[in-house]
Structure 1
Amino acid sequence: MAFFSLEHSKAAYLTDFILYGIAVTCLLIFLTLSTPLRKLAEVVIFVLAGLFTSTFIEYFLHRFILHGLQPFKRWHALHHARPSALIGTPTILSLTLIVILVFTPAILLGNLLRACALTLGLTGGYLFYTITHHATHHWKANHSWLKERKIWHARHHHVDARPVCFGVSTGFWDEVFCSNGRK
């Protein structure tokens, strides 16, 4: 069951980047070609709402599910034990969750443009998270923003007391919920 494995081959690991890159591109092209000018502001608001929501989902899942709920806590501990290993959420699981929990309710409660815009924002946020998380573990930091994210994420991985710094792509929610490790 390679599709459901937590530790990925290089090809399976890269699937997230490729699949979500294609999804973001297709949604962006669709919205660009389909959005009437009078609905442009509404579509942009839904994209931004999806992006903002993705940062909260990232924080919430990491803090309360991956660090608090079995069997996810045990699975996430594998990543903490071997941070450079290609361990992550199986693409089929993350894709299914986005379709079932984001796109489907959005289209049922709204319309196709809103559903695609919200899904674009959330999927774009997820892609940004996966790239940022990969970069914190595998890339040399040549930019101050990436250096800051690497230091932030290293604090998450190397604090012996209670876990801190759950946000990977941003520290915003750690600041809001005082989980940044500062007294």
Structure 2
Amino acid sequence: MKIYIPTNSKLMYIADLLFYGITILVLSVFLLFAAPRNQALGLSLLILCGLLSWTGLEYLIHRFILHGVLPFERWHQEHHRFPSALIRTPTILSASLILLLVFFPISLFSENVWQACALTLGLLAGYFTYSMTHHAIHHWHANSTWLKRRQEWHGLHHDLDEPRRYGVTSEFWDWIFRSR
């Protein structure tokens, strides 16, 4: 059975990045102007918590979903075969998973919708950072030491017969779980 590989046109690839960039902007403006002022510190901490939590999610998703669960594993294998191809999880799927697994559960168990928006905003900012970093790793000429290091680290992930080094934006979890 042939599994669909979500290779995107350049337009759809850019549209996905724009969708998340615009969503982050809209959520930021919404929280900035509509959220109660007396919750500003708590909401800011939740945004930071979501952003920092992304690094762990990035590692777990890359290691256990992209290297272990179909169809994601097959899509990711294609990415390994063709690192410059514009292969991304379809926006409708990634956005639906974020709503179903992040926003809705948090809104059910938090005190108010502002907290769900703040934590989701932080996670989305982390996801967007990951997306841009991963794109830069494969498509840009590195001018910064940080990006050069990311390219070397991720290049090793692609070159090894048994993939290791699952962090894209950070090496932290690879050090913790000894997958470097």
TM-score, length of structure 2 as denominator length: 0.93
Aligned equivalent of 2:101: 101
For the pair 1:129 / 2:130, whether they are aligned, the reply is yes
Offset at residue 125 of structure 1 (A): 0.6
- Detail structure 1 runs of 4+ shifted over 3 Å in the superposition: none
Instruction: Return the letter of the residue paired with 1:116.
Output: C
Offset at residue 116 of structure 1 (A): 0.6
Offset at residue 38 of structure 1 (A): 2.4
Cα RMSD, aligned residues only: 1.3
Instruction: Return the letter of the residue paired with 1:42.
Output: G
Which stretch shifts more, 125-134 or 29-38? 29-38
**How many angstroms apart in 2 are the aligned matches of 1:68 and 1:175?**
21
**Count of residues in correspondence between the two structures:** 176
Aligned equivalent of 2:40: 40
**How many angstroms apart in 1 are the aligned matches of 2:119 and 2:134?**
22
Instruction: Return the letter of the residue paired with 1:70.
Output: L
**How many angstroms apart in 2 are the aligned matches of 1:19 and 1:72?**
21
Offset at residue 5 of structure 1 (A): 5.6
Aligned equivalent of 1:16: 16
Aligned equivalent of 2:121: 120
Equivalent pair of 1:5/1:90 in contact (CA under 8 Å): no
Q: Deviations over 1:84-143 (max 9, x none)?
A: 000111111100011111111111112111011011001111110100000000001011
Q: Deviations over 1:14-61 (max 9, x none)?
A: 112100000000111111112333211110111111112211111101
**How many angstroms apart in 2 are the aligned matches of 1:96 and 1:70?**
18
TM-score, length of structure 1 as denominator length: 0.92
Aligned equivalent of 2:166: 166
Instruction: Return the letter of the residue paired with 1:118.
Output: L
**How many angstroms apart in 2 are the aligned matches of 1:140 and 1:103?**
36
Runs (5+) with no aligned partner, structure 1: none
Which stretch shifts more, 77-86 or 36-45? 36-45
Identity of aligned residues (%): 49
Equivalent pair of 2:55/2:169 in contact (CA under 8 Å): yes
